[in-house]
Structure 1
Amino acid sequence: MRTLRRAVLLAVPALCALASCGIPTTGVVQAGGPASGVVPTIRVYFVADDTLVAVPRRTVAPVDVQSAVEVLLEGPTEAERVKRMTTLLSLPGLLPTAVPAAPATDGAVPVPQEVRTADLVKVTVTDDRVSIELTAAMGDVVGLAADQLICTALGAQRVADPGTEPLPVTVTGPRGRRIEGTGTSCSDG
């Protein structure tokens, strides 16, 4: 018991010396903005060598199918194109670039119109299904082009609501052709 007391009596001054080792106190140190949490990452799907390729993209919260499809419709970046990634989706100019308006008949200079996602697709999420309806500007999609939309939608659902099974995805072309998505062709990257 005497040894224990002696050890404690020696340890207390040693701890005090360590605690006050000569480092001056500082006030609040300004080091940038407040922490803002994790930036969500989604996967959009492009095509390389006739295969779907999942590409991670940072996006703003909240993540949903609509925002994921918007990111997909921006197309591959220059770095991704160098890696031979492409999209099979028929995009009238890559979003958010401007496309020329119809020529004016009175000789006026046409004003460019911005292509918006709503001009290309309509995304609807219900209790039992995700529907992606393509406008005439997008045309019909089949095969890997449809899979790009389906896999991107399924991936967004997994990020938005982890732990739940994603809803089935249906892509409907402007002439009514429907493609049901199961996600079997989706890769994880």
Structure 2
Amino acid sequence: MRGSRVAALLAGLTAALTLSACGVPPSDVIQAGAPASGMFSPDPEPSAPTVIPLYFLHNGDLAPYSRKVGDPGDIGAVVRLLFRGPTTSEAVTATTELPRLTDTPDVAISGDDTFSIQLPEGVPPLSHLAMRQLACTVAHVTRPFAALSADANQDGATAAPPVHAKRSPGHTSVQVLGDGWTMKQSDDSCPDPLQP
């Protein structure tokens, strides 16, 4: 029994010497305020969909059709939507001169508000109306004209442009590059997006 007490005492003394040799000075309890709690990160505000006009043809004339988009500044996404053509509900009154593309076009913008669209190989030159569809649509890409109205259809189209819409200011042009051809069109003759 005496041997086990001595062994326990030696073990305790060895542990105390080992801990004191760490160089950590003894201290009292330090008061540091409230106990730590879990990190709280507020949910980011979801971005509200925005309505911009995509220009299709109505009875052969250029006309704006309101479409909701998540990021109106995403030039490529808006151009892809335009090339996909009218939605099912829009197709009742809308047509397009733009061809269906097999690959995604490359889209960029220069400092002088010229949008450059490189089409995939094999796409023939676009018609004048198709160029106007592109120029008028991209004129509104970085400057959306309204918040999403409550009467939006499930396929992304709205019945009519909202009343508080504004025409985007400035001069925009689009340059389309194809296989051995280049075309340029400005937004000078675009219909007002407030027109039904």
TM over 0.5: yes
How big is each residue's C-alpha offset from its partner over 1:62-120, in whole Å with a ceiling of 9 and x where there is no partner? 5232121011122111111122x11111114xxxxxxxxxxxxxxxxxxxxxx442xxx
Alignment counterpart, residue 67 of structure 2, candidates 49, 53, 57:
57
The whole-number CA distance in structure 1 between the counterparts of 2:103 and 2:92 is: 26
Out of 139-148 and 34-43, give the one that drifted further: 34-43
Query: Which structure has the larger Rg over C-alpha atoms?
Result: 2
From the superposition, tell whether residues 170 and 34 of structure 1 become closer, same or farther in structure 2 (CA, over 3 Å). Answer: closer
The whole-number CA distance in structure 2 between the counterparts of 1:34 and 1:132 is: 33
CA contact (8 A) 1:42 1:57 kept: yes
Out of 47-56 and 166-175, give the one that drifted further: 166-175
Alignment counterpart, residue 89 of structure 1, candidates 98, 116, 120:
98
CA contact (8 A) 1:91 1:138 kept: no
The whole-number CA distance in structure 2 between the counterparts of 1:186 and 1:137 is: 30
Higher relative contact order, chain-length normalized (CA < 8 Å, sep 6+) = 2
Residue in structure 2 matched with residue 41 of structure 1 by the alignment: 51
CA contact (8 A) 2:173 2:185 kept: yes
Residue in structure 1 matched with residue 152 of structure 2 by the alignment: none
CA contact (8 A) 2:131 2:185 kept: no
Residue in structure 2 matched with residue 95 of structure 1 by the alignment: none
CA contact (8 A) 1:40 1:63 kept: no
Residue in structure 2 matched with residue 159 of structure 1 by the alignment: 144
Cα displacement (A) at 1:52: 0.7
The whole-number CA distance in structure 2 between the counterparts of 1:39 and 1:56 is: 12
1:178 aligned onto 2:183: yes
CA contact (8 A) 1:157 1:166 kept: no
Give the secondary structure class of the aligned counterpart of 2:108: strand
The whole-number CA distance in structure 2 between the counterparts of 1:48 and 1:139 is: 23
Structural RMSD (CA): 2.7
Richer in helix (by share): 1
Give the secondary structure class of the aligned counterpart of 1:73: helix
Give the secondary structure class of the aligned counterpart of 1:155: coil
Output the TM-score relative to the length of structure 2.
0.57
Give the secondary structure class of the aligned counterpart of 2:53: strand
Give the secondary structure class of the aligned counterpart of 2:139: helix
Q: Which residues of 2 match residues 1-189 of structure 1 at below 5 A?
A: 36-61=46-71, 63-83=73-93, 85-92=94-101, 115-117=102-104, 121-128=105-112, 129-159=114-144, 165-188=170-193, 189=195
Out of 171-180 and 54-63, give the one that drifted further: 171-180
CA contact (8 A) 1:140 1:173 kept: yes
From the superposition, tell whether residues 134 and 82 of structure 1 become closer, same or farther in structure 2 (CA, over 3 Å). Answer: same
Percent of counterpart pairs with the same letter?
A: 26
Cα displacement (A) at 1:156: 0.9
Gaps of 5+ in 1: 1-32, 93-114
From the superposition, tell whether residues 186 and 77 of structure 1 become closer, same or farther in structure 2 (CA, over 3 Å). Answer: same
From the superposition, tell whether residues 179 and 35 of structure 1 become closer, same or farther in structure 2 (CA, over 3 Å). Answer: closer
Give the secondary structure class of the aligned counterpart of 1:81: helix
From the superposition, tell whether residues 37 and 65 of structure 1 become closer, same or farther in structure 2 (CA, over 3 Å). Answer: closer
